[in-house]
Structures are given as C-alpha cells and as structure tokens.
Amino acid sequence: MASGETLTSGSYITHHLTNLTFGQRADGSWGFAHSAEQAAEMGFWAINVDSMGWSILLGVLFIWLFRKAAKSATSDNPGKLQNFVEWIVEFIDSSVRGSFSAKNDLVAPLALTIFIWVFMMNFMDLIAVDLLPWLAQLFAEHVLGADPHHVYFKVVPTTDPNITFGLALGVFVLMLYYSIKIKGVGGFFGELAFQPFGKLGMPVNLLLEGVSLISKPVSLALRLFGNMYAGEVIFILIAIMYSAGWALGIFGGFLQLGWAIFHILIITLQAFIFMTLTIVYLDMAHQEHH
C-alpha cells in the first residue's frame, strides 16, 4: 500500500498475503519490494525474508527445546517438558515402526524433525493476523525510519510455496539417494523403464513411472501449502468483519474462535500427513522389486 491509499478489503487481503521480499528491482538496484507487483518482478532469485526468517527461528526453537529436555532428562522426577518430549518421541517411533519396514537410523529423527518443524510453522496461523504485521510496521517506522505502508510481513511459512516445495524437494532428494543406493543405478532405472508392462512397454512405463515419481514431491508440497493458505485466507476474511460494525464484529469474533479451534486439528493433521508420506516414500525407496 502506498502512503495515503484508502484501505479496502482487497488491499487489506493483498497486503497480508504478500511476503517481505528482497531482490533486484527493475532498475537494477537491490532492496525490499514496496508492492506485490514489484515483488513479482524480482523473479526467481528474490528471497522471501519473512518466510525464511520464521522458518529458521522456529527450527532453532525446536532444537533448543528438545536439547533442553535431553540435557535435563531424569528417570526419578521427569518434568513436564521431558514428559511432553518423550510422548512425542514415542508417537513418532510408533509411526515409523508401523510404516517403515527397512532399517535406517535416519528415518526416525527425520520424521521427528519434519513433524515438529511443520507443526510449529503451521501453528503461526493461530496468531492474530494483524498482530505481528502491525509490530513489524511499528519497528520499520520508529526504528528504521521506513514507510510502514511498504512493510509486508507474512508470519506463516507454510503459506509460502517456496517453503513447502523446499521441504518436499529435500524429501525427494533423499528418495532418489536411497533408491539408487539400495537398488543401484540399474535397478532404479529398471523400475522406471520395465514396470508395470515389461520391456516391450518401456516408453509407456517411463511415462507412467516418471509422472508418478515427480508427482510425489509436487503433491507433498501443494497439499501442505493449499491447506495452510486457505486457512490463512479464512482468518483474514473473518478479520475484515471487525471493521463492519459491532454486530458483525462480535459475530466475527465467534467465527474466529470456532475456526481457530478447528484449525488446531488442521495444522496437526497436515504436519502428520507430511511426516507419514515422507516415511512411506522412503520405505518405497528402500524396497527392491524383483
């Protein structure tokens, strides 16, 4: 939004769904985008600073909490944090044992990291939609001396497809690595070229298996992004009701409370689905077909 621009519902939604983007502007200079259009013009190499910042911060918080629980662990009188961490670890361990039939010491820690990290990023959706962007604008205006209307600040990393695709591509790389490590290059190519129709159906096999392989990271990323983005849009639409009079404001408050309670299930379920599919895909990568 530019200074003096009238705030409309459309501009409010656009402002909340635009990332704080750093990149090269059309004139060749580098800096933060001052509009959604300018952010789009920056192209592929632009960085969504808010998504990256929150992802890293939440990842560090996850490591710190679990490290703190591990260092203070005791069998005599476990605290609440230790009990919670042990419950999570046992839950992840049972999920891995139920879905992963091979032996790989990486899978359980990876599953734990994915579940907690994705859950924490999703959980940011439960924070009031205006609170952190408003604080970011105050910081920009009073500390940095910048125009607060040019400050965009998305706080839910999983509503950014760059983050969800980054996570999914990491899983995809592990799938390829273990597929080739376990089966060899020939075995991996053989699965793509000779199944399900044998040698005579090689072109069709490559097409079907290639699409199936590529669809795994794409569906993994888009499922998480789509659900979280839709949830964030609903929170923003409910927030607009607060400016439409006291009656709609009160109604919007009840709607927001109800949606937030329901959304707790969504953010947990999406983290669980991402983790479970990762385990299943890695299990498939470890299976040899004869």
pLDDT in tens, 38-88: 888 898 889 999 999 999 999 999 999 999 999 988 888 888 899 999 999
Q: Nearest 5°: CA angle at 20, between 111 and 134? A: 100
Residue 23 lies in a domain: no
Under a CB-based contact definition with an 8 Å cutoff, are residues 34 and 150 in contact?
yes
Residue 136 lies in a domain: no
Residue 162 lies in a domain: yes
Q: Which of 273, 275, 258, 186 is nearest to 227 (CA)?
A: 273
Residue 227 lies in a domain: yes
The number of distinct structural domains making up the chain is: 1
Q: Which of 284, 155, 104, 140 is nearest to 212 (CA)?
A: 284
Beta strands in the chain (DSSP E): 21-24, 30-32, 47-48
What are the tens digits of pLDDT across the range 158-213? 999 999 999 999 999 999 999 999 988 888 888 887 776 666 667 887 888 888 89
Residue 241 lies in a domain: yes
Residues labelled catalytic: 219, 223, 227
Can you give the residue range of the structural domain that contains 229? 51-128+158-286
Output the furthest CA–CA distance in the chain (Å, rounded): 70
Q: What's the predicted TM-score (pTM) here?
A: 0.90
DSSP, res 31: E
What φ, ψ does residue 47 adopt, rounded to 5°?
Answer: -115, 125
Residue 42 lies in a domain: no
Residue 275 lies in a domain: yes
Residue 93 lies in a domain: yes
